[in-house]
Structure formats: structure tokens, C-alpha cells
Amino acid sequence: MKKIKLIPGALGVLSLASSQFAGAQAADKPNVIIIYADDLGYGDVSCYGATRVITPNIDRLAKQGLRFTNAHCTSATSTPSRYSLLTGEYAWRRKGTGVLPGDASAIIEPGRITLATVMKNAGYTTGAVGKWHLGLGPSGGPDWNGEITSGPMDIGFNYNFIIPATGDRVPCVFVENRRVVGLNPDDPITVNYKGKIGNEPTGKENPEMLKMYPSHGHDMAIVNGISRIGYMTGGKSALWVDEEIADVITGKAVDFIGNNKDKPFFLYFATHDIHVPRVPHPRFAGKSGMGPRGDAILEFDWSVGEIMKTIDKLKLSRKTLIIVTSDNGPVVDDGYKDQAVELLGSHKPAGPLRGGKYSLFDGGTRIMFIARWKGTIKPGITDVLFSQIDLISSFAALTGQTLSSEAGPDSFNQIDALLGRSKTGRDWLVEHSGRLTIIKGDWKYIEPGAGVKVTANTNTETGNDPLPQLYNMKTDLGEKKNVAAENQDIVKELTDLLGKIKTEGKTR
């Protein structure tokens, strides 16, 4: 991986805005919780139209809060979306921000101002719980057996309890603050993504040992009867149990809230659900009738419910802004034979949208997004154009701060849109999956490019086309009719704007 240079000035401190407005805001700083689902589709929860799987907790949150129908993550995969959410910079501006292996070094350099730094500077206690997938350690990767540096604590988090990369990537261990949890020093961890290490069986050589079979990839190290991406030896006492991941990390999130209930806190709670391997706890297994993918949705809904219950029990619901959203769109077969395809039936993971995870169509990047803050956010539904990249600027504003000019280079203050006080959101936004798309008003333009139109493995409509594509999202939400040829003036306007966004290096 390319070595990352520290941006001069990135360490500059946030300045406090001096206006009366800022002072008034700062006085009643709400707690902020972002619950970040993995691969949860726009149509995967019942308040967004699902009927075969019912999500009562998420639905209740939506009923008590604001449900966004036109909110977006920045990329159609995890690492770049998370990078953009935390830094306020489009990930495609930087090399090495694609889906990371489990032994990658940190891609957000220590000291950089992130959403967590902003909250910390406002006096919040900050925590990251769950999936990380932004790399750990200096160039060369983390020391799994020692102190893990260049992690969440180096970019603004006071506390973290994380899955280093993804559930399907080794090492299959939790990290708490700077240490692997439960590691026996006599059984050190070795991780390798280039080739096999040790004499342990692998999914490829010993499929008879598996309880869940890969459909593509995922045939390397076996942990708990499930083969993964990457090779790993040692660390036996530290290995997680897949069925318990949701319970463990939800428990840590609940503990973090309880421990910090008397002062403002910021919690970034990134679940493993509903990413592969989908291995929900036995209390959810078989409950959806749609196989493990549907059961994982029920488990995710349970996690959301536990957070809501905790906030309500502590009487913090009028003092806490809860956001529930997803890192990218849905995928059905993402590499394991878990019956997701066979049992899908009439369920539409992306709802009315075309494509899904890995796609330039909106199924990849328009995501469910709900914000609840009792007494402040008026319940309802909004179609305001909103992007996760704006959270860092918006929360700076909410906490009475002005972002220094180096931070959040693509992040705009959209706090009024987030809180439902304004119906004017962004003018335009950029989405990414390999290439870029831009949405402005009713129009969406997709850059022309080569590549398969439907992926063989995941059966995703990628949005690749050698021709420029233009869709009217107001009349054609499903991106069925390319109207580029008859609207060349709009294509030109959007191509020019996108060109400017790329070359200028920042948009704020």
C-alpha cells in the first residue's frame, strides 16, 4: 500500500464559532449515536417497503423520527464509504481506499481531523464499536500480538471495541483499544493475505470441515467451520464465535452508553450485520423464512432495539440523536452458499432502486437513513438530498464549531436538513463505485466506462456502460431509460461540474 503523507495543517485545531447561535447550540449538546449497518439495502426494512421481513424497532425509530428517502453513502462498498463518513473527504480522491484486506495499515493517518475528533473537541466522550475496515497500524500493518497503533484512538476515539476488517476476513478477533481481546501470548497470531501459512486446514483443501460453504472466494483459513478471506494461524483463545458477534458488540455499545450517560457522548456503532458470513444467533436463525440473510436483518433490528431501549430507559431520548443508516447497498450472494438467492422470493433488497452493492446505479449508494431526536426532530418523511459525507460539517455546526479549512474537504453543513428544519439539502452529490456518478436536482449522470454489465459472482447490475448515461430520478427512480442522447445540454453541465469537482481536489 502507498505510504500516506500527513497533510500539513491537518492537525490544526477546530475554532469555536463565536456567534450567539453557536453558544446556544453548544449549551444543549445532544448525545449522538450513529448505527451503521453493513450491506443493508434500501428495501430491506419494513418502513422502506419490505413485507417479507418485518423490522419493528427500526420502524418505531422511523415513526418517532425523520425518514430520509434521498440519502446517500458515498461509495458502493464499505471502506470508501466509512472513510468518507469519518473524514468528510471523497475516498476516490485518495489511492488505497478501496475494500481493504484484514492486515492493511491505517488509511486515515493519525492526527487527522475526523468526525470523532470534532465531537471530542466539543467535549464529547467518543467511542467506536463494531466493524472498522479502515486499516490499523503503521505502514506494514498492525502488530496483532502487541500494541496496535494507528487505530481509532489516534483519530479521535476515546474508546473502541472493533472487528478489525470484516467478518469474512482474518484475523477473526476483536480488538479493544490497542489490544486483541483474549489473546494468549503463548499462541501468537500470524496473518497473511499472500499465501498459506502453517499447516491448518483451509476451505479449499478441506471442504468437509465446513458448516457453511463458499460460493465464490472465501476458501482460505477456516474459523468456526467457516472459511474466510486470508490466512491466519494462532490466536485460538481470541477467536470470535460468529453466532455471538451481534450480542457481544451490541453489549459493548450499551455499556459505552451506560458508562457515559452523565456527559455528552458520541457512539459510532458499526454492526457486522448483515454482511457475510451471515451467521445470526440461534434466537434469530430460521425466524425470517428467508434464510440467514433475512435472519441477519432481524438481528440487526434487535441491535437497534437494544440501543433504543437503553436510551429510553436512561431517559436520554430527548437528549440523544440516533441515526440508523448503511454503508452501501444490498447484495444477495456475496460469497457463501447461505440460501439467500433461493429464499429471496418477492423480497426486493434495493426496493425500487436498480443495482446494489458494487453498483453505480442508486441501489449501490442510496441508503436507508433515519434520524430520531425526540422533541427536536419533527417526525416525518423527507426527500431532501443528503449525504453521509456531510455529517462531519453538520456536527461541527451542531456543537458550535467551525471546521478548520483542511478538515472535511467535501463536507457541507447540512444540519438543518438533518434535523428536518430545512427542505433544501445539497445541490448535488457524487457517488462512486470504480467510476463516478453525479446527482443534481432530478438528474443523475453516470460516467461512461468499460467493464461487465452484470457481475458473474454477485449478479449485480454494475451500471457500467461505454456510453454516458443520464437518468431522470424523479420520473425514473429505477434508472431504466437512459435519456443522455436527448439531453446533451444537461450531460454537458453535469460532466463539467464533475470534472471541476475532480480537479479542484476539494469542494468545501
Site for Ca ion, rule CB under 5 A: 38-39, 78, 327-328
Number of residues that bind ligand NG6 (CB under 6 A): 17
Judged by beta carbon, residue 78 or residue 150, the one nearer Ca ion is: 78
Judged by beta carbon distances under 5 to 8 A according to partner kind, the member of ligand NG6, Ca ion, none in contact with residue 382 is none
Binding flags for ligand NG6, 28-67, as an x/- string (CB under 6 A): ----------xx----------------------------
Q: Is 233 in the site for ligand NG6 (CB under 6 A)?
A: no
Closest-approach residue to Ca ion (CB): 78
Distance in Å, CB of 32 to ligand NG6, minimum: 23
Per-residue string for binding with ligand NG6, 386-425, x by CB under 6 A? ----------------------------------------
Tell me which of ligand NG6, Ca ion, none is bound by residue 276, counting a contact when its beta carbon lies within the kind-specific cut-off of 5 to 8 angstroms: ligand NG6
- Return d(Cα 220, Cα 214) in angstroms, integer: 10
**Shortest CB 97 distance to ligand NG6, Å:** 11
Do 412 and 425 contact (CB within 8 A), yes or no? no
Binding site partner of 334, from ligand NG6, Ca ion, none, Cβ cut-off 5-8 A by kind: ligand NG6
Which CB atom, from 53 or from 76, has the smaller least distance to Ca ion?
A: 76
User: Taking the complex as a whole, how short is the minimal distance between the CB of residue 145 and ligand NG6, in angstroms?
Assistant: 25
Please tell me whether residue 451 adopts helix, strand or coil conformation: coil
Closest CA to 267 of 152, 167, 164: 152
Return d(Cα 461, Cα 358) in angstroms, integer.
Answer: 8
Q: Is 98 in the site for ligand NG6 (CB under 6 A)?
A: no
Give the C-alpha separation, 280 to 270, whole Å: 16
CB of 223 to ligand NG6, least distance (A): 15
Phi, psi (degrees; rounded to nearest 5) at 73? -90, 175
Q: Which of 85, 84, 46 is nearest to 67 (CA)?
A: 46
Counting every residue written for the chain, the total comes to 508
Residue 273: all three cell numbers together: 450485520
* Nearest-5° Cα angle at 248, 242 to 252: 150
The verdict on 229 binding ligand NG6 (CB under 6 A) reads yes
Contact call for residue 276 and ligand NG6 (CB under 6 A): yes
Among 10, 54, 99, 497, binds ligand NG6 (CB under 6 A): 99
CB of 168 to ligand NG6, least distance (A): 5
The one of Ca ion, ligand NG6, none whose footprint includes residue 72, by CB under 5 to 8 A per kind, is: none
Q: Which residue has the cell 470534532?
A: 118
Distance between CA atoms of residues 55 and 317, nearest Å: 20
334 touches ligand NG6 (CB under 6 A):
yes
Decide if residue 223 touches ligand NG6 (CB under 6 A).
no
Cβ neighbours of residue 1 under 8 Å, at least 6 residues apart? 96, 104, 105, 107, 135, 139
Task: Kindly state the smallest distance separating residue 188's Cβ from ligand NG6, in Å.
Answer: 26
**Rule CB under 6 A: is residue 431 a binding residue for ligand NG6?**
no
- Give yes or no for a contact between 465 and 448, defined as CB atoms under 8 angstroms apart: yes
178 lies in the site for ligand NG6, by CB under 6 A: no
The one among 216, 261, 287, 374 contacting ligand NG6 by CB under 6 A: 216
Query: Where do the H-state alpha helices sit in 125-261?
Result: 245-259
Please identify which residue in 56, 217, 251, 449 interacts with ligand NG6, judged by CB under 6 A. 217
Q: Least distance from C-beta 458 to ligand NG6, angstroms?
A: 8
Number of CB atoms found within 10 A of residue 241's CB: 13
Closest by Cα among 251, 258, 256, 249 to 315: 258
Q: Is 335 among the residues that bind ligand NG6 (CB under 6 A)?
A: yes
Q: Which is nearer to ligand NG6, 216 or 508 (CB)?
A: 216
User: What distances in angstroms separate CA 58 from CA 39, 117, 297, 415, 466, one per listed residue?
Assistant: 16, 28, 11, 22, 40
Site for ligand NG6 contains 299 (CB under 6 A):
no
347 binds, options Ca ion, ligand NG6, none, Cβ within 5 to 8 A by partner type: none
Q: Does 166 bind ligand NG6 (CB under 6 A)?
A: yes
Which residue's CB is nearer to ligand NG6, number 98 or number 111?
98
Distance CA 284, CA 287 (A): 5
160 and 126 Cβ atoms separated by less than 8 Å = no
Cα distance between residue 95 and residue 274, in whole Å: 27
CA 93 vs CA 279, 340, 387, 440, 497: distances in Å: 35, 34, 17, 20, 16
Among 55, 57, 70, 78, binds ligand NG6 (CB under 6 A): 78
* Closest among 145, 136, 163 to 235, alpha carbons compared: 145
Stretch that binds ligand NG6, among 215-223, 379-387, 459-467, 470-478 (CB under 6 A): 215-223
Decide: is 168 part of the binding site for ligand NG6 (CB under 6 A). Answer: yes
- Binding stretches for ligand NG6 (CB under 6 A): 38-39, 77-78, 99, 133, 166, 168, 216-218, 229, 275-276, 328, 334-335
